[in-house]
Amino acid sequence: MREFDYVRADSLDHAAAQAGPHAALIAGGTNLLDLMKLQVMVPERVIDISRLDGLDTIEADGPGLRIGAMVRNADLAADPRIRADYPVLARALLAGASGQIRNKASTGGNLLQRTRCPYFYDTAMACNKRAPGSGCAAEGGASRMLAILGTSKDCRAAHPSDMAVALRALEARVAIRAPNGTERILEMDQLYRLPGDRPDLETELDEGDIITAVLLPAPALGSSQSYRKIRDRASYAFALVSVAAVVTMQDDRIGKASLAFGGLAPRPWKDAQVDAMLAGQAPSEALFSKAADTLLAEAVSDAGNEFKRHLAHRAMIAVLREATGLAPASTGTDLVGEPA
């Protein structure tokens, strides 16, 4: 690891004032420190925001909740309000990492954790995300964990967060504090950029911006919520494909469906067309299959990750069957909530 300065921020103003092109915030450090050890990220200054007052609480926010950026993943998953009203979020959190890591990992850090593309982590390999313009060693390489939607010729890295997928399905928003003290609120899809020809630019955050909270809307009363994660091991593994669903039925029809997907794209993926084609319809295998076809219509895969198309198709149908009561819930081992 290279030498760096460590600054423990005592206020948001202090943290913002320390920001710069060669500085990085540290929250739980579970991703940043790994990347620094590998010299994938080489900040000259690390600004610790983990002890700031007021960032580690979950508070009522009108009919919804405001989750501070320093709320730990374990505490968020265990919060009774989250378990009762936003179970898809609790399940997604518990499907991620391990108990020890969730004790350290923060809400803000989880949103901004970097991709797990193996070429990004290996400094001997070309990677446009790590070193803009250097190329993409993933081309023709091992693509099992890579994205099939929203990619570009310059980058096929997938977003790794489980929590962010659930937040996307819940239509959560993110509060960001600029260095001048003003706060702006972004929808989740406004937060993350697609790679295009600048895969190194992953979010709409500017220098000195700090995520202060995630805002959950009012609970979707009467909704069925689920998170299904399919991975190579039953725990301690990132998603090959994951599906988060918040579905509300009206009589025998789907009133509203909000689906989001992980493992498939450079950001937690949502397709408004898919949600729209489910709304107002009676649940059926044919409908779900058509919606899955729509989701995957623009997918670009190769021999190494072609399987994700089939996996995503089947996972989406299984989750929708469960959420709409079309068939009894599966008890397969890919269901989340198992001990990590």
Ligand X SMILES: Cc1cc2nc3c(=O)[nH]c(=O)nc-3n(C[C@H](O)[C@H](O)[C@H](O)COP(=O)(O)OP(=O)(O)OC[C@H]3O[C@@H](n4cnc5c(N)ncnc54)[C@H](O)[C@@H]3O)c2cc1C
Stretch that binds ligand X, among 6-14, 28-36, 123-131, 134-142 (CB under 6 A): 28-36
User: In this structure, are residues 203 and 192 in contact, taking their beta carbons and an 8 Å threshold?
Assistant: yes
Stretch that binds ligand X, among 5-13, 27-35, 265-273, 320-328 (CB under 6 A): 27-35
Among residues 9, 16, 19, 25, which is the contact residue for ligand X, using CB under 6 A?
25
Query: In the complex, what is the shortest distance from the CB of residue 84 to ligand X, in angstroms, rounded to a whole number?
Result: 22
| Binding to ligand X in span 228-287, by CB under 6 A | 236, 238
Q: H/E element holding 254?
A: strand 253-262
Q: How far is the CB of 117 from ligand X (least distance, A)?
A: 14
CB of 332 to ligand X, least distance (A): 18
The backbone region for 286, taken as left when phi is positive above 0, alpha when psi lies in -120 to 50, beta otherwise, is: alpha
Stretch binding ligand X (CB under 6 A), from 31-39, 167-175, 240-248, 312-320: 31-39
**Minimum distance from residue 25 beta carbon to ligand X (Å):** 4
**b/e burial code for range 35-69 (CB count within 10 A of at least 16 → b):** bbeeebbebeebbbbbebeebbebeeeeebbbbbb
CB of 83: closest distance to ligand X in angstroms? 18
191 or 254: whose CB is closer to ligand X?
191
The C-alpha atoms of residue 286 and residue 61 are separated, in whole angstroms, by: 40
User: Cβ closer to ligand X: 13 or 293?
Assistant: 13
- Which residues in the 93-152 window bind ligand X by CB under 6 A? 96-97, 101, 104-106, 108-110, 112-113
Contact 115, 157 (CB under 8 A): yes
* Residue 162 makes contact with ligand X by CB under 6 A: yes
Q: Which long-range contacts does 221-225 make (Cβ < 8 Å, 24+ apart)?
A: 222/248, 222/249, 223/247, 223/248, 223/256, 224/248, 224/249, 224/322, 224/323, 224/324, 224/325, 225/86, 225/87, 225/88, 225/91, 225/169, 225/323
**Contacting positions for ligand X (CB under 6 A):** 24-32, 34, 49, 69, 73, 96-97, 101, 104-106, 108-110, 112-113, 160-163, 210-211, 236, 238
